[in-house]
């Protein structure tokens, strides 16, 4: 399998990073063609994950990080009493598994929200290569740091915002990420349930549903099940900025 993958790379048929249209969003960002070729050798392996199946789960030994090629995932942590907290939704080009580096064991679950495919990046070899390739090292650090900044944003959301602000922030964030991938920033399909959105935003699913309905009534978005069309981007943004305390 290793051999096959490498062979395909050599043929340039359709293999790893060098041919991937996500490379500007992913680990290869900022690398020269030559450097990407070296990364290719290491990322040869892919893995398909079916909808609702786990890429890894909390407690599993950490061996690799993963770049999402197609599809999307959620990550979550579970409390002993069964409470679940969704810590993030990841889409193509984003990296999964960074939580595992610290204890050499994964600390959360990563579950595919749809049939998906990831590139497997063996961690030991990544460290090795990033000692040789400065730009790779730098980009890897940026990816980790970006995750930290993102997490701080979620804390802000969970700690200081009201229900509708949270949902607005969530939609704006998705919109931005879809746009970065060349999709419409105004019209998209949610891959997660209301319950999962609620868990991520620290709300109950009923509250999420009500907020969606409210946005719809106010003409901010058109919601039909999981299909979302943003009608008034600025309206959503304003909701975020100066909804403040006493409206």
Partner DNA sequence: GGCCCGGGTTGACTTGGATCAAACCGATAC
Partner DNA sequence: GTATCGGTTTGATCCAAGTCAACCCGGGCC
List, in sequence order, every residue forming a beta bridge with 77; answer none if it has no partner.
85
**Beta bridge pairs of residue 85:** 77
Report d(CA 138, CA 190) in Å as an integer. 32
Of the pair 15, 190, the CB lying nearest DNA is at: 190
Nearer to DNA, 77 or 223 (CB): 223
**Binding partner of residue 225 among a second copy, DNA, none, CB under 5 to 8 Å per kind?**
DNA
Query: Which H/E stretch holds residue 110?
Result: strand 109-112
User: Residue 100: which of a second copy, DNA, none does it interact with, CB under 5 to 8 A by kind?
Assistant: a second copy
Q: What residues contact 45, with CB distance under 8 A and at least 6 apart?
A: 1, 2, 5, 119, 120, 122
Q: Residue 134 binds which one of DNA, a second copy, none, with CB within 5 to 8 A depending on kind?
A: a second copy
| Smallest distance, DNA to C-beta of residue 227, A | 10
DSSP-assigned beta bridge partners for residue 122: 64
In terms of CB distance, is 29 or 212 closer to DNA?
A: 212
Encode 203-228: b = buried (16+ Cβ within 10 Å), e = exposed: beeebbbebbeebeeeebbebeeeeb
70: tokens are 């197609």
Q: Taking the CA atoms of 137, 142, 144 and 145 in sequence, report the sign of the dihedral they define.
A: positive
194 binds, among a second copy, DNA, none (CB under 5 to 8 A by kind): DNA
- Pick what 195 binds: a second copy, DNA, none; C-beta below 5 to 8 Å, kind-dependent: DNA
Whose Cβ is closer to DNA: residue 40's or residue 165's?
165
How many angstroms separate the most distant Cα atoms in the chain?
64
CB of 149 to a second copy, least distance (A): 5
Q: What are phi and psi of 52, to 5 degrees?
A: 75, -5
- Which CB atom, from 10 or from 156, has the smaller least distance to a second copy? 156
Residue 89: φ, ψ to 5°:
-120, 130
- Distance in angstroms (rounded) separating the CA atoms of residues 103 and 100: 6
In angstroms, give the least distance from the CB of 159 to a second copy.
4
Q: Residue numbers of the site for a second copy (CB under 8 A)?
A: 77, 79-81, 83-87, 98-103, 107-108, 127, 130-132, 134, 137-138, 141-149, 151-156, 158-160, 199-202, 241-242, 244
Which residues of the shown chain bind DNA in the complex (CB under 7 A)?
A: 162-164, 193-195, 202-210, 212-213, 223, 225-226, 245-246
- Judged by beta carbon, residue 19 or residue 137, the one nearer a second copy is 137
Say which entry of a second copy, DNA, none residue 98 contacts (CB below 5 to 8 A, set by partner kind).
Answer: a second copy
């Amino acid at each position: 399998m290793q051999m096959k993958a490498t062979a395909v790379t050599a043929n340039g048929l359709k293999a790893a990073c060098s041919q991937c249209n996500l490379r500007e969003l992913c680990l290869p960002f900022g690398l020269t063609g030559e450097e990407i070729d070296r990364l290719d050798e290491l990322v040869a392996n892919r893995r398909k994950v079916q909808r609702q199946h786990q890429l890894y789960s909390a407690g599993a030994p950490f061996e690799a990080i993963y770049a999402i090629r197609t599809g999307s995932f959620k990550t979550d942590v579970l409390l002993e009493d069964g409470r679940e907290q969704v810590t993030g939704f990841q889409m193509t080009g984003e990296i999964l598994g960074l939580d595992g580096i610290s204890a050499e064991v994964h600390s959360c679950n990563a579950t595919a929200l749809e049939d998906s495919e990831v590139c497997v990046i063996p961690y030991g070899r990544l460290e090795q290569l990033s000692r040789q390739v400065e730009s790779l090292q730098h980009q890897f650090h940026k990816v980790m740091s970006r995750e930290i900044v993102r997490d701080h944003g979620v804390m802000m959301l969970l700690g200081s915002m009201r229900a509708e602000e949270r949902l607005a922030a969530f939609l704006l964030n998705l919109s931005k990420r879809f746009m970065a991938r060349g999709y419409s920033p105004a019209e998209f399909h949610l891959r997660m349930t209301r319950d999962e959105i609620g868990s991520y935003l620290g709300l109950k699913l009923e509250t999420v549903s009500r907020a969606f309905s409210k946005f719809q009534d106010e003409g901010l978005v058109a919601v039909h099940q999981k299909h979302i069309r943003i009608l008034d981007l600025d309206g959503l943004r304003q909701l975020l900025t100066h909804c403040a305390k006493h409206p």
